[in-house]
Amino acid sequence: MAREMIRQGGRSARIQEAVHAATQALLNEVGRGEINVPMIADRAGVTPSTVYRRWGDLAQLLADTAAERLRPVADPDDTGSLAGDLRAFVQQYAEEMGSPVGRALMRDVLAETASEHAAARCCAYTTHHLQTLNRRALARGEAGLSVDEAIDILIAPICYRILFSNGEPSPDYVNGLLARFARLNSAIPLSSPPHQA
Partner DNA sequence: GGCCTAATGCAATATCTTTGCTTTAAGCTG
Partner DNA sequence: CAGCTTAAAGCAAAGATATTGCATTAGGCC
For DNA, the closer CB: 57 or 95: 57
**Does 3 help bind a second copy (rule: CB under 8 A)?**
no
**Does 155 help bind a second copy (rule: CB under 8 A)?**
yes
For a second copy, the closer CB: 42 or 116: 116
**Does 130 help bind a second copy (rule: CB under 8 A)?**
no
Contacts of 22-29 spanning 24+ positions with Cβ under 8 A: 23/61, 23/62, 23/65, 24/65, 24/69, 27/65, 27/104
Residue choice 32, 57, 69, 117 for contact with DNA (CB under 7 A): 57
Residue choice 17, 25, 30, 53 for contact with DNA (CB under 7 A): 53
Shortest reach from residue 13's CB to DNA, in Å: 8
**Does 45 help bind DNA (rule: CB under 7 A)?**
yes
**Does 113 help bind a second copy (rule: CB under 8 A)?**
yes
**Does 50 help bind DNA (rule: CB under 7 A)?**
yes
Instruction: Identify the CA nearest to 163 among candidates 90, 86, 111.
Output: 111
For a second copy, the closer CB: 145 or 155: 155
- Per-residue 3-state assignment (H helix, E strand, C coil) for the chain: CCCCCCCCCHHHHHHHHHHHHHHHHHHHHCCCCCCCHHHHHHHHCCCHHHHHHHHCCHHHHHHHHHHHHHCCCCCCCCCCCHHHHHHHHHHHHHHHHHCHHHHHHHHHHHHCCCCCHHHHHHHHHHHHHHHHHHHHHHHHCCCCCCHHHHHHHHHHHHHHHHHHCCCCCCHHHHHHHHHHHHHHCCCCCCCCCCCCC
**Does 107 help bind a second copy (rule: CB under 8 A)?**
yes
Among the listed ranges 16-24, 45-53, 91-99, 113-121, the one in contact with a second copy (CB under 8 A) is 113-121
The residues binding DNA (CB under 7 A) are 5-12, 15-16, 36-39, 45-50, 52-54, 56-58
The residues binding a second copy (CB under 8 A) are 32-33, 104, 107, 110-111, 113-114, 116, 119-120, 122-123, 151-153, 155-157, 159-161, 163-166, 177, 180, 183-184
